[in-house]
Amino acid sequence: MRKILGVALAAALCVAFQVNAPAQADDEESGPAAATQQASSSSADETEKDDPAKGEEPKDEVKDEPEAETPEDEPSKGEEPAEEVEEPSKGEEPKDEPKKGEEPKDEPSKDDPPKGEDPKDEPKKDDPPKKDPPPKGSPEVTPTAPTVTQSVCKGKGDPTPADIELPADTDEISYTLETADGQPASAPFAPGDYVVTATPNTSGSTPYVLVDPLPAGWTLAGNGVDALYEITLDVPKGCKDEVTPPAPEWIDDCGPGNGYWEFTDTDEYEYTVTENEDGSVTVTVSPKGDYQFPEGTVTEWTETDSEEECILEVPPAPVWTDNCEIIGSWDVPPDGEHYRFEVSAVFGGASTVTLIADEGYAFPEGTVTEWTETEDAADCALLPGDIESQCVSAVPYLSYAVELPPGFAEPGPNPVTITFVNPSGPDYVVSGQPLSGQLLWPGASATPPLQWPGWELLPDGTYVETDGNFAWTRQGITVRFDVNPTYSTTVEYPQESSTCANPQNREVPPDEDEPDNPNGPDNPTIPTGYTLPNTGAGSPVLGLLGAMFVLVGGSVLLLSRRRFSLR
């Protein structure tokens, strides 16, 4: 009986210890998973006491953690534990554990950047993919800095080798070395940038996490698990010949986009030109081979084209030519290297010449760059054809023909205005005439009663000479033809011997019964004031000759009669 009671007492104590263990773990800010893992580890240690190496606890393990006498998942026969840690259902994640690939929500890392942003201390190599963080409460491990040995110069062209020595890998953490572009690196090491990656062991029976904060020189990698340590191996000073490159010269002549750097490459250094998106131009210089620049040497320069306009020399102006022999036109100088002339016709007969400079070029301020002229035929005379007086059916007319000068646009079908210029009174003007035709002479009439200039018809049907009725047009008159241009000429009235110069002689029939009628056939009626045409009777020589012929004729007639009487 005592044995049974002893066994029951021992079982009760074991159950009480198991109930108390999770509560203590919660007080130490350890999650249910950690408590379960510790309980499982204790059970494993209990069952494997004979093999201490296999279940050896890590050095950083909490020393005060009590050991369980009986595994949690193996209670005494016939008894149930008073309280157990709640296990998640199949397919569910523990409530207090972070999901795979995520940081614990209640303890975010201070070095983690905001979501969607890169870490502030981004390493030069590409970030590795995200790793699953170790469970909460995992022991921390501190990365050790690598040992870096810089190259030094023992003499001209004799540097010592540089070296990077990584810490030894352990069960807790391992180290790798790469170049800045992510390639594995090993000795011999050339001058340049390198990256050491410290990776805690998260896959063993005891996962480790990096200490927070990290030691100086280390930064948290983008995967949130590893640490990075950047190293730069310098070029040893004094091992190479030092040379100082001259600064390039920026040449920026006037004109658009023609700025450039002027420099000369040598065996010691070379220049590189880069055109930037903002339009500026950058030049850098780098040493070659066994040469180096002194510390503090300027190796980069940047300039931008000023886009300053070039001022051109003013070319000769175009010349306008407009006369009656040549149609109005421009005599334009030849185009220059950076300018040109453009000729354009404008409505109304005007023509414009414009002087245009190329882009990036200009003429001095105040330069005339546009000229406009209008072709004007008004200064040119009409081209005359046949212009004369003419009789048509005993009626005097002005017959004429004129032509427009070359280049003068046809103004219409009847553009001519004809003016008989009166030297001492109002002119006789007729407008709306064609360029050629016939015009009734002033004072004349082509329909009955007929009229002639300088003659007046009396009521009795006879004509009397008068100073009126355009008598001034009979003595040779100036006739002007206007179309803008103009032409003037002198036109003579038809000769008096013409049938249309004056009124024809009117004969009144004689009375045959009155032989002494003064108006008989031997005395025709002559209009009062009418002057017979000049037939030459006014000459004295002709009169004497006529008298002689009359005397001779009379003598011959008397002799004939006498001979007839004697017979």
Closest CA to 203 of 138, 143, 144: 138
The whole-number pLDDT of residue 230 equals 96
Beta bridge partners of 418: 430, 481
Specify the DSSP class assigned to residue 485: S
Helix (H) or strand (E) holding 284: strand 281-287
The whole-number pLDDT of residue 69 equals 44
The whole-number pLDDT of residue 439 equals 93
Beta bridge partners of 391: 396
The whole-number pLDDT of residue 203 equals 82
CA dist., res. 505 & res. 64, Å (int): 170
CA dist., res. 337 & res. 358, Å (int): 9
Q: Which residues of 536-564 are buried (b: 16+ CB within 10 A; e: fewer)?
A: eeeeeeeeeeeeeeeeeeeeeeeeeeeee
Half-sphere exposure (CA, 13 Å, Cβ side) for 312?
Answer: 21
Indicate the CATH number for domain 379-491: 2.60.40
Q: What is the dihedral of CA 540, 541, 542, 546, to 10 degrees?
A: 100
CA dist., res. 515 & res. 492, Å (int): 45
User: CA angle at residue 308 from 305 to 309, to 5 degrees?
Assistant: 140
Quick check: 171 and 180 in contact, CB under 8 A? no
Would you give the distance in Å from CA 47 to the centre of its chain? 87
CA dist., res. 457 & res. 466, Å (int): 10
Low-confidence stretches of the chain (pLDDT < 50) are 1, 15-17, 19-95, 97-110, 116-121, 123-125, 505-546, 550, 556-567
Rounded (10°) angle between helices 32-47 and 2-27: 140
The whole-number pLDDT of residue 349 equals 65
User: CA angle at residue 380 from 377 to 381, to 5 degrees?
Assistant: 125
Quick check: 127 and 223 in contact, CB under 8 A? yes
Residue boundaries of the structural domains of the chain? 140-233, 241-308, 311-375, 379-491
The whole-number pLDDT of residue 327 equals 64
